[in-house]
Amino acid sequence: MRVNVSELDLVKTFECGQCFRWEADKHGNYTGIAFGKVLSIRKSDRDIVFSCSSEDYENIWYDYFDLERDYKQIRESLCIDAYMKEATTFGAGIRILKQDKWEALCSFIFSQNNNIPRIKKIIDTLCSSFGERIIYNDKEYYTFPSAKRLASVCIEELAPLRSGYRAGYILSAAQSVANGEIDLDALNTLTPHEAKSALMKLYGVGAKVADCMLLFGLHMLDSFPRDTWIKQALSKYYSSDFDPVVFSPYAGIAQQYIFYYMRNA
């Protein structure tokens, strides 16, 4: 189906470090999988073409791409100075995806001290090894394995992922989710501070991973993860005691504009 959507640039949204399961073909069409569904999506003139049923668009992808939110208005509100005007203009079209919470948690555990191509390879191997197979346009795709599924494997079975020490973190997180020690859905009923504290009780989850989970898994849009690119930007353009509250309640969206601008400009 064809939808007129402003402020949705597929390249910027998929390549800004927030997700790891979308791949482009030579024509710039993206195919990915989320919530057990495969989607091909492309830009055509002013429209975005979703290769899916209207039911899947309404029940999955409309929410996944956060299409209800006015990103143009948000982007304009974040132009607090000359630098942010440049960053928001360069990053116009980025949207924060509403990802599956368990997948987001695992993805950012894998992201620790890692680069994007390697994170994608680890996740692809994880899914093909433990996920469920889906045939779409005569190609094989795999769902993201559930916490229950991963909780049942031993550390040796994760060796093909070549994820190093992170394998232990993933297994521990899977066990904590599967046995109810932490309820990821219930985290959305907490304040960001409470949710972050709960996440940091998980083995191997520090402040950076927890902040990424708040933003990309729980869609708490005021979360402001600080990676190397963000730290460089803050050091260069702001003070050492910079407080992202100036971007509230959309500090997380500001963070993505800054990240994308620093990494790609």
Residue-wise pLDDT tens digits, 54-108: 999 999 999 999 999 999 999 999 999 999 999 999 999 999 999 999 999 999 9
Cα dist. 109→18, 29, 81, 154, 206 in Å?
A: 13, 28, 33, 18, 9
Tell me which CATH code domain 101-217 carries. Answer: 1.10.340.30
Sign of CA dihedral 46, 52, 57, 60: negative
Task: Please count the residues of the chain.
Answer: 265
Class of domain 2-90 as given by CATH: alpha beta
Residue 14's pLDDT is 96
Residue 46's pLDDT is 84
Residue written as token pair 């989710």: 177
Q: Where are the domains of the chain?
A: 2-90, 101-217
- Cα angle, residue 116 at apex, residues 112 and 122 outer, rounded to 5°: 75
Residue 2's pLDDT is 87
CA distance 176 to 181: 5
Query: Tens digits of per-residue pLDDT, 218-242?
Result: 999 999 999 999 999 999 999 878 9
Residue 210's pLDDT is 97
Best CA proximity match to 146, nearest among 184, 108, 119, 90: 184
Please give the mean pLDDT across all residues of the chain: 95
Are 17 and 97 in contact, with CB atoms under 8 Å apart?
Answer: no
Residue 142's pLDDT is 97
Q: What is the mean pLDDT of residues 231-255?
A: 93
Q: String of b and e for 79-106 (b: at least 16 CB within 10 Å)?
A: beeeebeebbebbbbbbbbbbbbbbbbb
Query: Tens digits of per-residue pLDDT, 14-27?
Result: 999 999 999 999 88
Query: Tens digits of per-residue pLDDT, 201-219?
Result: 999 999 999 999 999 999 9
CB atoms within 10 A of CB 119: 19
